Amino acid sequence: MLSYIAITMSSPPPLPDPVRLTVRTSSGSYTIEIAPESSRRLSALLDAAGVPARRFVVSTQTVWRFHGERLQGVTAEDPILIPDGERFKHLATVGRIYDALIRAGADRASAIVAVSGGVTGDVAGFAAATYLRGIPVVQVPTTLLAQVDSAVGGKVGVNHPLGKNLIGAFHPPATVVIDPELLATLPRREFRAGLYEVVKYGVIASRPLFDLTSQNLAALFARDASALLPVVAESCRIKAAIVEQDERETGVRRTLNFGHTAGHALEAVTKYRRFRHGEAIGYGMLAASALAAARGVFPEADRAELASLITKMGPLPAVADLSAAEVVEATKRDKKVIAGRLHFVLPAAIGSTTIVGDVTLEELTEALVGIGLKG
Ligand SMILES: NC(=O)c1ccc[n+]([C@@H]2O[C@H](COP(=O)([O-])OP(=O)(O)OC[C@H]3O[C@@H](n4cnc5c(N)ncnc54)[C@H](O)[C@@H]3O)[C@@H](O)[C@H]2O)c1
Ligand SMILES: [Zn+2]
């Protein structure tokens, strides 16, 4: 008997359409190009954006090993590879970038191209902000967190032994080039950490983004470009719109801190070792929404929906051994307490927030216990 095996040659799905955003700043404007394979067209994109022709790539061993090849043509200069990780986000690493630039004779007609996650983007951006009183920086973010958050907005800087991000500048990028394909090599935990910030944007400003994320979790984790592109683009659009209204964080930009009061405190009490930043924000959003629901300003159905999405995204490091009182103490050190009351970004619905100045320490303690900390 003859049997036939049908082989269907399926063609790869079409690439999603590129998205280009423009961000206005007090010193001009820049574009964010979000497109699959944009990193392969980097030279042309930088030429089009008017980036000076002498370009110095700043990256890390890890990122360069995975993606250096596709970026070979960007510059004739050797890449400046700096050590990776938050513990190297300090002035000595900036010094290494200065050394390399000076040795190569980089002048005011030179630019830095940061190809990296948020740590190196912040460090390279700070080097660019200060070298010869400022040369252009291009951000080519390679983590989800950097693509949706740190590469947009112009904040650059480093840590000091006494605190995070204490030394910095506002130095908006000359342009931002986002290639979702670079995320294919990102460890799942790092990817998830960035996705909590996406959820944050959904809660503060966009019910459609929240739904898009929650309905496409599997495709997002599979790094499917057609699922990633709209989610990254909408996140950048929200951050850019907020930053445009409030470049120097005096008002509306504070809404971006949703989930960050408790989140920063959780990071601090665990000495920045237990959580990826986004994971701490996952808990911070749960705490803020529990607090808002207890006050009756956030519908219970929305609170449950947010909690269910965060749970669905995957496991978070344990918090059962952490004392709520200690975490509340840490928020005080974060200078957010005025006369025993906390400033807090609370969700009002999925898609909008309200900023209040009267959260009591007891309310926060109760919310933290509610999400699993020790009473
Ligand atoms: N400037 C801002 O507005 C702003 C906003 C948010 C966060 N930040 C800063 O961002 C930093 C965190 O950034 P992050 O989460 O990107 O961390 P990160 O830069 O440390 O990157 C995380 C890890 O992913 C690896 N990696 C990066 N790209 C990869 C890729 N494509 N494939 C495989 N591995 C890859 C890195 O080597 C690193 O080990 C913090 O220092 C934070 O303060 C800044
Ligand atoms: Zn954050």
User: pLDDT tens for residues 277-336?
Assistant: 999 999 999 999 999 999 999 999 999 999 999 999 999 999 999 999 999 999 987 766
Q: What is the mean pLDDT of residues 240-263?
A: 89
Q: Which ligand is closest in space to the CA of residue 240?
A: 1
Percent of the chain with pLDDT over 90: 88
Closest CA to 157 of 127, 132, 182: 127
Query: Which protein residue's CA is at the shortest distance from atom 6 of ligand 1?
Result: 150
- From the CA of 84, give the closest atom in ligand 1: 37
pLDDT tens digits, residue range 172-194?
Answer: 999 999 999 999 999 999 999 99
Q: Is the pLDDT of residue 2 over 60?
A: no
Exposure class string for 252-277: b at 16+ Cβ within 10 A, else e = ebbbbbbbbbbbbbbbbbbeeebbbb
Under the banding of pLDDT at 50, 70 and 90, the label for residue 13 is low
Q: What pTM was estimated for this model as a whole?
A: 0.95
Using a 6 Å cutoff on CB, does residue 86 contact ligand 1? yes
- The reported pLDDT for the residue numbered 10 is 59
Mean of the per-residue pLDDT values for the chain? 94
Centre of ligand 1 to C-alpha 144, Å, is 8
pLDDT tens digits, residue range 319-352?
Answer: 999 999 999 999 987 766 778 899 999 999 999 9
Q: Which ligand is closest in space to the CA of residue 61?
A: 1
Q: Is the pLDDT of residue 234 over 60?
A: yes
- The reported pLDDT for the residue numbered 336 is 64
Instruction: Find the catalytic residue in 86, 249, 326, 329.
Output: 249
Centre of ligand 1 to C-alpha 365, Å, is 30
Q: Is the pLDDT of residue 259 over 50?
A: yes
Tokens, residue 261: 């009061």
Using a 6 Å cutoff on CB, does residue 173 contact ligand 1? no
